[in-house]
Structure 1
Amino acid sequence: MATDEHPTPLESRLGYLLKHAQRRLADASAEALAPFGVDGHQLAVLVVLAGQEPLSQVEVAGRLGVDRTTMVSLIDGLEDRGLVERRRSPRDRRKNVVELTAAGEDCLRRGEQARREAERRFLAPLTEQEATELVRTLRRLVADGEGGGR
């Protein structure tokens, strides 16, 4: 068994650690979101749709980095559950926009609360300062990978 001072060779690899940390967090999030009938991908769609302006499926896909086919499937599932609705854009009649319904807003509010609680439990082994620093550092790595670094 490895310790912090003597990790196994695999536990010394960043990719291994990130993959397993992400898997644990994904499992915890899935469990927390199950009562609301959504998964993390669907909740992310609801988060994006909660913005100020109505968005098309293509715009939502772009913001989430998801291909169009996957986005259609995600939106179809959310629409079937009454969480979103498609309608013609008031600004451009050639495109449809997707908006949250009242049920979608409620699901988003409750799902986000459950997700935050799952993240807090996941980060519980860290001090508050360590958890904040971890999130800040990961944001920098993600932004740098998207061309937004230093």
Structure 2
Amino acid sequence: MTSETPQTTANGIDQLSTRLGYLLKHAHLRYAETSAEALAPLGLNGRELAALAVLAEDVPLSQLEAAGRLGVDRTTMVALVDTLEAKGLAERRRSPLDRRKNVVQLTEQGRTLLNDAEHVRLAAERRFLAPLPEEEAEALLRALRILTAIES
């Protein structure tokens, strides 16, 4: 038996199918794969899309502020912004409010790609959640927002 083979008890219940951590991990892996396949033709990955979404807010953010919203460290954010800049999707500029600080803003190309990618992301989410009735899919999203303390 490999480590990937679920263990079944005498009453036929898969021991792992009752474990929240196992279920969350494998749901995440399956969704990440679905999302990656959907975004690949656009030349984006999920982390880049999340960064574009955060940077699209009306108020320009510094790299540090954007990192905080994404939940990544400074080094990761610098590398992410470097990648977005290299792709022509974002640019660093001096803050008009504080000349000592740089803000990161989307370029027009970045805004256009974000719009396209959001359509692709939503379609991938719908495909992923399709096995659930609509009410259950919405309940799952609400529950996850509560558990991760993200306001809706």
Q: Is the shorter-chain TM-score for this pair beyond 0.5, marking a shared fold?
A: yes
Q: Name the counterpart of 2:93.
A: 87
SS at match of 2:110: helix
Is 1:106 the counterpart of 2:115? The answer is: no
Offset at 1:41?
0.4
Q: Name the counterpart of 2:140.
A: 134
Q: Name the counterpart of 2:70.
A: 64
SS at match of 2:24: helix
AA matched with 1:49: L
Q: Name the counterpart of 1:21.
A: 27
AA matched with 2:76: T
- Distance (Å, rounded) in 1 between the aligned partners of 2:43 and 2:65: 24
AA matched with 2:99: R
- Distance (Å, rounded) in 1 between the aligned partners of 2:13 and 2:138: 24
Is 1:43 the counterpart of 2:43? The answer is: no
Offset at 1:101?
0.4
Superposed CA RMSD: 1.7
Q: C-alpha offsets along residues 24-43 of structure 1, whole Å, 9 cap, x if unaligned?
A: 00000001110111100010
AA matched with 1:91: L
AA matched with 2:31: L
- Distance (Å, rounded) in 2 between the aligned partners of 1:76 and 1:38: 14
Q: Name the counterpart of 1:74.
A: 80
| Residue ranges of structure 2 left out of the alignment (5+ in a row) | 1-5
Offset at 1:7?
3.7
Q: C-alpha offsets along residues 40-87 of structure 1, whole Å, 9 cap, x if unaligned?
A: 001000000111111110000011110000000000000000000111
- Distance (Å, rounded) in 2 between the aligned partners of 1:81 and 1:138: 32
- Distance (Å, rounded) in 2 between the aligned partners of 1:85 and 1:141: 34
AA matched with 2:56: A
Identity %: 61
AA matched with 1:18: L
Q: What is the count of residue pairs matched by the alignment?
A: 143
What TM-score, normalized to structure 2?
A: 0.90
SS at match of 2:67: helix
Offset at 1:19?
0.2
Offset at 1:11?
1.0
